[in-house]
Amino acid sequence: MDQYILALDQGTTSSRAVIFNKKADIISIVQQPFSQHYPQPSWVEHDAMEIWATQLGSAQMAIAKANISPTQIAAIGITNQRETVVLWDRETGMPLHNAIVWQCRRTASFCDELRLQGHEELIQKKTGLLIDAYFSASKIRWLLDNVPGAREQAKEGKLAVGTIDSWLIWRLSQGKLHVTDPSNASRTMLFNIHNMVWDDELLDLFDIPHLILPKVVPSSAIVGETAVEVLGASIAIAGIAGDQQAALFGQGCLSRGQAKNTYGTGCFMLLNTGDEPIKSTQKLLTTVAWQIAGQKPQYALEGSVFIAGAAIQWLRDEMQIINSAAESEVLASSVADTGGVFVVPAFVGLGAPYWDQYARGIIIGITRGTNRAHIARATLESIAYQTCDLVKALCVDANCKVKELRVDGGATSNNLLLQIQADILGTRVIRPKMVESTVAGAAYLAGLACKYWAGTDELASLISSEATYFEPKLSLEIRVANYKKWQRAVKRASSWDVAEDYS
């Protein structure tokens, strides 16, 4: 009988299950949404049991939809929303509280205190991260301090805590496995990315007992098996990676200097830096990309853009310049350029490398001849310029040149955007045939571990087949001149001080 790989993609708003064959083609995919909970302004929670139910249901339906037996699944790979944490009872397996989501800001004031106490240098040196409520450590501390009896139970070893990958593996194995991988561990602000262990000094700082944390295992390795009762067979669990690191692997960025950008609501860009963790001077994050069993861990630099695809939604919903996201390409293509217009979509401030929470969006360069097509094209260009900002920052930190940019995410269906991106970067942009890079990365990591695929060379050939290439066409002179204008526009947006009274 043919064998397959089952990949579980547990995201922020939905749980998916995807079955891949030997050619890395998708033969079955099922997706189920789940509820979002907002108990207070800026607080975000998920029901961990609903996450499990939707993920298990998706997996069962994907197997049925593929018309295969669970015994034909060679291995399972898992990718997940990062930083979100669950605290549960080891005996009952039940959560003590809703999962606290990566978006949640309830611990922001505690993180401010850590910064004021001078812990930023220590934390960045050990973890590669900046102090922020985004990461898991302060969320775990909050759970231990605010769930009645939790801290006492934790000290007695009665509780377990973990990111979503750990929670799913616990449920899949019916409590036999409490593990995570380095890519997820490196997002907690508790993991020393240099010696690859939970850091005692950081655990003391956050007052988190070591014994509630999962064992850290390689991202690509057979770490255990599912309980037969769960999916109808005992299946190897062999791949684990946080979503953005999984996308980097799924894009085939397996060597130092290779980069991928995911175009969603915002953008996540990761640059493979090989087996060297590079401390950022450009306000980027240093993270573990993955670790294959028996090999050194691989690292990445990561930067994020807050507003990318959301800018296209703004054109549609608030500005009503277009009726659908797809229309942005048609409208923007109707003019040769922006007519000197620049849009800086700093609707919620600016992300890396600026980190300016007080910046606000602007449209600049308008003349009497400016029309909605110019604004649409300038909005597309703003996504590409922000990506260019990230590439430049990554190259400064890594002291290397990005020779090509691999892309995925919903907005990459826009060919004009990708051509603009190639022109602004002066670099080839590659859109793979397999645009589901995140879930593919989880499948590839699992398939390597169980020898479903022979090695990374075989994977690289699968990933590169039938890719679409966008080559830069803009002259260096025009590219440099336009980028300087973009930088001036960003400076104008950054100078808007919302704390000042303009009345």
Q: What is the pLDDT of residue 216?
A: 97
Q: Are residues 161 and 257 in the same domain?
A: no
Q: How far apart, in Å, do the first and last CA atoms of the chain sit?
A: 74
Q: What is the pLDDT of residue 146?
A: 96
pLDDT in tens, 436-494: 889 999 999 999 999 999 888 888 888 776 788 999 999 999 999 999 999 999 999 88
- Please give the radius of gyration of the chain, using alpha carbons only, rounded to the nearest integer: 23
Q: Are residues 308 and 382 in the same domain?
A: yes
Q: Say if 83 falls within a structural domain.
A: yes
Q: Are residues 173 and 73 in the same domain?
A: yes
Question: What percent of the chain is predicted at pLDDT more than 90?
Answer: 69
Q: Are residues 109 and 237 in the same domain?
A: yes
Q: Which residue has the higher pLDDT, 172 or 399?
A: 172
Q: What is the pLDDT of residue 354?
A: 85
pLDDT in tens, 102-126: 888 888 889 889 989 999 999 999 9
Q: Say if 441 falls within a structural domain.
A: no
Q: Are residues 39 and 83 in the same domain?
A: yes
In angstroms, rounded to a whole number, what is the distance separating the alpha carbons of residues 47 and 271? 33
Residue after which a domain boundary falls, among 244, 264, 298? 244
Is residue 499 scored above 70 in pLDDT? no
Question: What is the pTM assigned to this prediction?
Answer: 0.87
Q: Are residues 213 and 288 in the same domain?
A: no
Structural domain count of the chain: 2
Query: Which residue range is the domain that position 496 belongs to?
Result: 252-431+473-503
Phi, psi dihedrals of residue 237, rounded to the nearest 5°: -95, 115
* Average pLDDT in the chain: 91
Residue after which a domain boundary falls, among 185, 217, 244? 244
Q: What is the pLDDT of residue 502?
A: 40
Question: What percent of the chain is predicted at pLDDT more than 70?
Answer: 98
Beta strands in 157-254, from DSSP E residues, in sequence order: 159-163, 179-180, 191-192, 197-198, 215-216, 220-225, 236-242
Q: Are residues 237 and 291 in the same domain?
A: no
| SS3 per-residue string spanning 120-169 | HHHHHHHHCCCCCCCCCHHHHHHHHHHCCCHHHHHHCCCEEEEEHHHHHH
Is residue 497 scored above 60 in pLDDT? no
Q: Say if 204 falls within a structural domain.
A: yes
In angstroms, rounded to a whole number, what is the distance separating the alpha carbons of residues 238 and 219? 8
The neighbouring-strand residues paired with 179 are 215
Q: How far is CA 219 from CA 25, 204, 223, 329, 363, in A?
A: 22, 27, 9, 38, 44
In angstroms, rounded to a whole number, what is the distance separating the alpha carbons of residues 105 and 461? 42
Mean predicted confidence (pLDDT) in 374-389? 95
Q: Are residues 60 and 126 in the same domain?
A: yes
Q: Are residues 198 and 270 in the same domain?
A: no
Q: Say if 437 falls within a structural domain.
A: no
